[in-house]
Amino acid sequence: MAILSLNGRHLFGQPIKVNWAYASGQREDTSGHFNIFVGDLSPEVTDATLFACFSVYPSCSDARVMWDQKTGRSRGFGFVSFRNQQDAQSAINDLTGKWLGSRQIRCNWATKGAGNNEDKQSSDAKSVVELTNGSSEDGKETTNTEAPENNPQYTTVYVGNLAPEVTQLDLHRHFHSLGAGVIEEVRVQRDKGFGFVRYSTHAEAALAIQMGNTTQSSYLFGKQMKCSWGSKPTPPGTSSNPLPPPAAAPIPGLSAADLLAYERQIAMSKMGGVHALMHPQAQHPLKQAAMGVGSAGASQAIYDGGFQNVAAAQQLMYYQ
């Protein structure tokens, strides 16, 4: 009650800072822990409040709000430490946008470790608070030109909450199907449950984030993905090297030879019309497969396999 009622009160013209006292031996050494940055903190949030918010994750070891040494007021951001990296990643995924006090907080990996030197942290994090809160220490609004959503150098999408069985190829297929743009690189950390998809342009990455977070497109292997900006910009001068379209997902009952033969049939339809496909020799195992999965499923399989002439493919199924 003393902390809540007296913190920030003026005493002889100066605001005082009231918080929990920690003996030097009580705080755990977090130098080897995983640290996250928490921004947009409301003024009333203290170390104890911040720790209580993140302590739902068992490995949360410490939480500190950064304070202005001159005014005694919160700088609007802090750091939280975790013994377990997955807990730290889950906290970033789950608590970004959640309300703490009177504001919605933002979480990301800390660019500087949450060590014990608070003065150094405050100095290093000055630019970070301006980036996250949109305001400098003197309260003047600043333009977030360096924020990922406004910086054209950011072209990478972070994809979190991935199922353990998701591979790099699975993630490539999923984002390729969104059609947001040209994909340059795909990486997956299967043991950590996240991955990255780098696009050619900032606008393409922004569209992929928007589409990837929609209800219809956000599920992969039964888990809802969470898409956001990657933490690092694409280095200037990075050469463009688009990935080829991903290999088609396997279709039950069809071999690679079956798909190749069908692709030849599509080529024949372009040259000689669909009647060429009605020749008895054009009968193909794909017909049975299409009957098994239904016309819509077969059309989707054809498209996923790289056969762009969907109209011809549908005609093929109709005449057969």
pLDDT in tens, 84-107: 999 999 999 999 999 988 889 999
Question: Is the pLDDT confidence value at 15 over 70?
Answer: yes
* Domain boundary assignment for the chain: 28-109, 156-229
Per-residue confidence (pLDDT) for residue 70, from 0 to 100: 72
Average pLDDT over residues 298-314: 42
Show the tokens assigned to 60.
């949360």
Show the tokens assigned to 163.
């199922």
Question: Is the pLDDT confidence value at 46 over 50?
Answer: yes
Are the beta carbons of 66 and 122 closer than 8 angstroms? yes
Beta strand 183-189 pairing with 156-160: unpaired
**DSSP-assigned letters across all residues of 185-213:** EEEEETTTTEEEEEESSHHHHHHHHHHHT
Say yes or no: domain 28-109 is CATH 3.30.70.330: yes
Show the tokens assigned to 116.
């014990």
More confident call, 39 vs 115: 39
pLDDT over 70, % of the chain = 65
Per-residue confidence (pLDDT) for residue 303, from 0 to 100: 41
Are the beta carbons of 253 and 288 closer than 8 angstroms? yes
Per residue in 238-276, pLDDT (tens digit) is: 888 999 998 877 666 666 666 667 667 666 665 654 444
Per residue in 118-167, pLDDT (tens digit) is: 443 344 343 333 333 334 444 333 344 567 777 888 999 999 889 899 99
Just give the CATH number of 156-229.
3.30.70.330
Per-residue confidence (pLDDT) for residue 297, from 0 to 100: 44
Domains 28-109 and 156-229 are alike in CATH topology = yes
Per-residue confidence (pLDDT) for residue 108, from 0 to 100: 93
Per-residue confidence (pLDDT) for residue 251, from 0 to 100: 64
* Distance between CA atoms of residues 244 and 183, nearest Å: 9
Beta strand 99-100 pairing with 103-104: antiparallel
* Distance between CA atoms of residues 45 and 54, nearest Å: 13
* Distance between CA atoms of residues 79 and 182, nearest Å: 36
pLDDT band at residue 83 under the 50/70/90 scheme: very high
In 3D space, the residue among 205, 193, 196, 198 whose CA is nearest the CA of residue 166 turns out to be: 193
Per-residue confidence (pLDDT) for residue 123, from 0 to 100: 40
Handedness of CA 114, 115, 121, 124 (dihedral sign): negative
Are the beta carbons of 133 and 180 closer than 8 angstroms? no
- ∠ CA 134-138-143, rounded to 5°: 25
Question: Is the pLDDT confidence value at 287 over 80?
Answer: no
Identify the bridge partners of residue 109 per DSSP, sorted by sequence position.
36
Residues shown for the chain: 320
